[in-house]
Amino acid sequence: GESVGLHLPTLSVQEGDNSIINCAYSNSASDYFIWYKQESGKGPQFIIDIRSNMDKRQGQRVTVLLNKTVKHLSLQIAATQPGDSAVYFCAENGYNQGGKLIFGQGTELSVKP
């Protein structure tokens, strides 16, 4: 069936470097995408979202890129900090999904001081 998945299960970066977390989706009807951050013992925390009529959106230190041609989503974190260490999930809220979010498996980001 349709699914959202991640290319890399783990990512280790040096503090201060930029991080890029990738996500592939297969539902061509998806029109809304969200990135979540989940720290140990907590629920997922909203980071940034993007609609399908955009290809880039920036937040504070984060940028989400959407390439609908190849059904690819990425999250870029600038000047990665130890506090960014967490599991990151992409999720899609497809037009034909009735409102529910479909999550990928997650990428664990580890920031080395």
Partner 1 sequence: GAGVSQSPSNKVTEKGKDVELRCDPISGHTALYWYRQSLGQGLEFLIYFQGNSAPDKSGLPSDRFSAERTGGSVSTLTIQRTQQEDSAVYLCASSFPGVNSPLHFGNGTRLTVT
Residues that bind partner 1 (CB under 8 A): 31-32, 34, 36, 41-46, 49, 51, 89, 91, 93, 95, 97-106
Strand partners, 19: 77
Q: How far apart are the first and last CA of the chain?
A: 40
Q: Give the shortest CB-15-to-partner 1 separation in angstroms.
A: 25
Q: Give the shortest CB-112-to-partner 1 separation in angstroms.
A: 21
Choose between 25 and 89: whose C-beta lies nearer to partner 1.
Answer: 89
Q: Give the shortest CB-26-to-partner 1 separation in angstroms.
A: 15
Choose between 17 and 66: whose C-beta lies nearer to partner 1.
Answer: 66
Choose between 40 and 69: whose C-beta lies nearer to partner 1.
Answer: 40
3-state secondary structure 22-80: EEEECCCCEEEEEEEEECCCCCCEEEEEEECCCCEEECCCEEEEEECCCCEEEEEECCC
Hunting for tokens 């870029």 — which residue is that? 76
